[in-house]
Structures are given as C-alpha cells and as structure tokens.
Amino acid sequence: MRILVTGGAGFIGSNVAAKCLKQGHQVRILDNLSSGNRRNLEALPDAEFIQGDIRDMYKIRQASDGVDTIFHLAASVGNKRSIDYPIEDSEVNVIGTLRILEAAKAAKVRKLVFSSSAGIFGELKTLPIKEDHPVEPDSPYGASKLAAEKLCLSYSKLYPLECVCFRYFNVFGINQRYDAYGNVIPIFVDRALTNHVITIYGDGEQTRDFINVEDVAQANYDAAMSIGTRGAFNLGSAARISINKLAFLVKELSGSKVEIIHAPPRPGDVRHSLADISAAQRAFGFSPTVDFEQGLAAYIAWARNELDRKNA
C-alpha cells in the first residue's frame, strides 16, 4: 500500500510512519519541519520525504499523487499556541486540512485518518467522555480541530473517501521533544533532567488521560486497514492521573531532586479529562497495551539520551 503521512517528521507522525514501514508499506512524508525534527527522519531511511507546507496546494498534490491512504497529522498544536497565534492556527488546521481533503478527492484516496483532539470538547460535563459529549472548545485550537474534523466527516459523506477522525487525549512517548507550547510530560521531564523548577498551574488536582504513542500509532494503522470504518473516535487510555501525581512520578523515575511549585491556573485548560474508548474498541478492536508508568520510564530514558547527545 502507498501511504502519505503529513507531519511525518513530528512526534506522532514519525511513529505512525515507522509503524507503516514495519508492516511493509511504501511511505511518503510531507512536512515543513516547522515543528518536525530531521532526527526523526533519519530513523526512517526507507520513507520518501517531501519538504512542504499543507497550505501549499502544489506540494500537497505532489505528495498525494498515487497514494491509497493518508494519515493527516500536520497541524498547529496546543491551546496556548493557538491563543498566541489564532490566525496561523486556523490557517494550518482548517484551511490546510481542506486542501488535504481536496487533494485526497482528486487522487481518489480510499482512506484518510485525521488527527483531531479532545480539545474540541472544552470543559467536561460528564466523565468519562463519549463521542456524543457536547463540543464547546475553550481555545482557538479546539475550535480549529473541531472545524477540520467536521470537514473530514462531510467529505466522507459526499465522496468515496473513508475518513476516520481520532480525538487524541494526552499523547506521550518516544520522539516527543520539549516544547513550551507542548504536552505537560515533555515539559516536566525536561525540567527534571535539567534541574529546573517544575511548575504546576493551578492546584494540581486536575486530571488527564495519558496514552502512549505506541498505542496511538497502532490505532491509526488498524483504523486505516479496517475496511468501511469511518467516523469520529476517542483515543485515550481510559484511565487518568492528577498533574500532582504526574510531577511526583517524573521526579521519582528520573531520580531528580527538582523543586515542584504551583502557579495560577492558565486560561483554556480543562479541569478533568477521561476518554470512553468503547466505540473504537467496537469499530476496529482498539485496546491500549502500554502501562503508563513503564511508558513514562521509557520516555524519561529516551529524553535523557537525547539530552546527553545534545550536550556531548
């Protein structure tokens, strides 16, 4: 099978690309390297790489030519980034996705798997969250992901294009590098490994559903291979921990003596998060397999090696 992974030099995209290569497929990656990393590409020597932006229709058509399946992961990511740069957020996440869909339609692509976000839900009214939970995003990022998701689902109704939208909860794991706009785990791990204060915003009793990127890559692959599967699905671990507990585990597993402090809550952050994943289980057999603490320890070891390499 010929596969295109947009954002394939990034954290989740590189793991999806690796999964597809391991299964023997031809993989093409489209990435502008604004947040993707060339080191991720070095680990994927058998993948074809096209450097380009999903806002560039010429590059998109070049990348989608002859492919059967598209994993669309290229995005402007994060609540804070979207608050700081709301126009760029929508240009990439909404217009960029629309261009991908137009290219997929023209290329007669069979399946498109889109990386959405649990940020579409906003503050939660019930736990765990089912797919029919009200969607009231609290940030431009959540709003742009919701708009892109709706575009995918509408194209899936209008054309012979099977679209699957994954509402990611908090994904973590190998290839996730520190970014002040990014996920809390790489931020905490970087602070612990560099002996800088870990800052928790709010009282720390807010909870998150963390899922390892290995499980996310497997879900992407299984959904793509599942004939007839389409629609929007939650993708989480169906378990949650508090940010206070997370900070404690990072400190303990890294062997750090770093101080943990609290700061005022940040706008746009939800209080609690927990996925109901039963729909994905029914549709294509999704079942997370990576234990959280084991996955966190493996990520800390990877991040330590990355830091040592950088400082060598």
SS3 200: strand
- Provide CB contacts within 8 A for 279, sequence distance 6+: 130, 131, 231, 233, 234
As a dihedral over the C-alpha atoms of residue 288, residue 293, residue 299, residue 301, rounded to 10 degrees, the angle is -140
What is the spatial distance between Cα 209 and Cα 215, in angstroms, rounded to a whole number?
Answer: 13
Closest CA to 193 of 306, 28, 80: 306
Q: What is the CA radius of gyration of the chain?
A: 19
What is the spatial distance between Cα 280 and Cα 285, in angstroms, rounded to a whole number?
Answer: 7
Alpha helices in 6-78 (DSSP H): 11-22, 38-42, 57-64
Measured between its terminal Cα atoms, the distance across the chain in Å is 40
Which of 141, 155, 178, 221 is catalytic? The answer is 141
Q: Is 141 a catalytic residue?
A: yes
Q: Under a CB-based contact definition with an 8 Å cutoff, are residues 149 and 94 in contact?
A: no
Give the residues across from 241 on adjacent strands.
Answer: 208
Q: Under a CB-based contact definition with an 8 Å cutoff, are residues 295 and 303 in contact?
A: no
Half-sphere exposure of 235 (CA within 13 A, CB side): 31
What is the spatial distance between Cα 234 and Cα 194, in angstroms, rounded to a whole number?
Answer: 34
Q: Under a CB-based contact definition with an 8 Å cutoff, are residues 303 and 252 in contact?
A: no
Structure tokens at 300: 């800390």
Query: Which are the catalytic amino acids?
Result: 141
